[in-house]
Amino acid sequence: MTDVLIAGGTVIHHDATERADVLIRDGRVADIAPSLARPAGAHVIDADGCWVGPGFVDLHTHLREPGREEAETVASGARAAAVGGYSAVVAMPNTEPAIDSAMVAQFVLDRGRDALVEVAVAGAITVGRQGTHLAPIADMAALGVRLFTDDGTGVQDPLILRRALTYARPLGVTLAEHCEDEALAAGGVMNEGHVSSRLGLSGRPALAEELMVMRDIELVRLTGCPMHFLHLSTARSIDLVRKARADGLPVTCEVAPHHLFFDESVCEHYDALFKVHPPLRTRGDVDALQAALRQGDVDAVATDHAPHAPELKDLPFDDAPPGMLGLEHAASITRGVMGDDPIGFFRALSRGPAAIAHLRARDERPRHTAHGGDVAVGEDANLVVFDAADTYRVERHGLQSRAHNTPYDGLELTGRARALVVRGIPRLDQGQLT
């Protein structure tokens, strides 16, 4: 394995920053010092002016394999992740068939072995994500699956969710909920409010999300099992999580980059690129999510990267599937919110999500390395070099993802990954896949 020297950057520790070079040997960090000599034959990554920190971890990636390979595959999604600066992603289970058994989980894990970044898997909570019968959570946990969710929808029946939480607790795994009460959200295609009324589109009310957050917090209180809240989109949802945490409950939450960036007004042109569940909300919600992220009340930015084939996304707003791409631009959006706070930036994109997804420990999952930890001698070399000042224009046809449904097309964004090292191997350098 070739030595790698990351030279000239600023290392971002969890509580401090340090101007230092980083030497990587045999997949681990071998040395950190202000100025290291270049070992003969080493691959040198120029990190001048850049932040060097743990590779980003995406808790929430739809890789679409098996079943929807026309939109994304494990390999193409992993390429998009590498361009975005991610060293690990968690593949969501709303595939076809769903990842609701050890067999399908193993299939995706096997596909991930050849991918550019590490691929962990989230298993479904219920069989077929139908919400009626518990999936074999213990069988999947035995393979190293640590996160379980029916994402795409939440578990609607509180009795099923109570059973899942009770069952999951001794296994040491975390349940993650897509919070939307489907009865209340039924038929809605965008945020319910005066914008939806004006456009003549039916709404998904904020309360559909908030009611489920309330219900789930109470089920966590009852069972003591940890719960992670996926893509929270309203100010009140975040407040509910804040209060639950103050009560000492084991709850965490994420926000998606699109909810940090766009409000509902972008739906005005009926472009289904902006259709997503939960929907884009009000400007007040966007401001509240941004403030909560800066304050450290949000544990992670997670992409909800949701590739869809053009023939589906080009349908009328009412008929198109919800979801938008995120992996290649989430770090730029996060940079925009966090400003010049690299410690908070790495907390949101790497250290926070890695802890929630149980990716911090090297040995917890078979044949995986540790992510989101310290940049320290002996640690697995999963590192990103991020140029916080790089301004670029998004071009939807220049993406690594198979799909093109990015909401950022044509926009100028600032901050992007210059280089990425996964398990000691450079996967991205000078912004190009190696």
CB of 204 to ligand DOR, least distance (A): 11
Is residue 372 within a helix (H) or strand (E), and if so which, with residue range? none
If one asks whether residue 326 binds ligand DOR (CB under 6 A), the answer comes out as: no
d(CA 280, CA 267): 9
Which among 21-29, 202-210, 319-327, 420-428 is the span making contact with ligand DOR, rule CB under 6 A? 319-327
Residue nearest to ligand DOR (CB): 323
Interacting residues with ligand DOR between 5 and 24 (CB under 6 A) = none
Interacting residues with ligand DOR between 233 and 272 (CB under 6 A) = none
User: Cα separations (Å) of 289 from 178, 256, 365?
Assistant: 17, 10, 32
Is residue 142 within a helix (H) or strand (E), and if so which, with residue range? helix 137-142
Interacting residues with ligand DOR between 67 and 106 (CB under 6 A) = 94
The binder of ligand DOR chosen from 188, 323, 352, 426 (CB under 6 A): 323
The torsion angles phi and psi of 314, rounded to 5 degrees, stand at -85, 0
Q: Which of 304, 380, 387, 429 is catalytic?
A: 304
Lateral strand order in the sheet of 17-19: 17-19, 10-12, 51-54, 383-393, 412-422, 425-429, 432-433
CB of 304 to ligand DOR, least distance (A): 6
Interacting residues with ligand DOR between 31 and 70 (CB under 6 A) = 62
The binder of ligand DOR chosen from 85, 322, 415, 426 (CB under 6 A): 322
User: What's the token pair of residue 68?
Assistant: 């929807």
Interacting residues with ligand DOR between 133 and 162 (CB under 6 A) = 151-152
Whichever of 285 and 304 has its CB closer to ligand DOR, that residue is 304
Helix (H, G, I), strand (E, B) or coil at 82: helix
Q: Quickly tell me which residue has 């000691």 as its tokens.
A: 424
- Residue 17 pairs in a beta bridge with 12
CB of 64 to ligand DOR, least distance (A): 8
- Give the single-character DSSP code of 3: -
The binder of ligand DOR chosen from 277, 371, 418, 423 (CB under 6 A): 277
Whichever of 262 and 345 has its CB closer to ligand DOR, that residue is 262
- The answer to whether residue 304 is catalytic is yes
CB of 62 to ligand DOR, least distance (A): 4
381 contacts 297 by C-beta, under 8 angstroms? no
d(CA 175, CA 160): 12
d(CA 192, CA 60): 25
User: What's the token pair of residue 170?
Assistant: 């001794």
DSSP 248-288: T--EEEEE-HHHHH--GGGGGG--GGG--SSPP--HHHHHH
Which among 12-20, 81-89, 163-171, 318-326 is the span making contact with ligand DOR, rule CB under 6 A? 318-326
CB of 94 to ligand DOR, least distance (A): 5
The binder of ligand DOR chosen from 102, 109, 155, 306 (CB under 6 A): 306
CB of 305 to ligand DOR, least distance (A): 9
CB of 182 to ligand DOR, least distance (A): 12
User: What's the token pair of residue 116?
Assistant: 């550019």
Whichever of 54 and 322 has its CB closer to ligand DOR, that residue is 322
Q: Is the dihedral of CA 352, 357, 358, 363 positive or negative?
A: negative
267 contacts 195 by C-beta, under 8 angstroms? yes
The binder of ligand DOR chosen from 276, 288, 330, 355 (CB under 6 A): 276
Whichever of 304 and 387 has its CB closer to ligand DOR, that residue is 304
CB of 27 to ligand DOR, least distance (A): 33
d(CA 80, CA 369): 20
d(CA 258, CA 134): 31
d(CA 400, CA 327): 10
Query: Where along the sequence are the contacts to ligand DOR (CB under 6 A)?
Result: 62, 94, 151-152, 178, 276-277, 304, 306, 321-323
Active-site residue list: 304
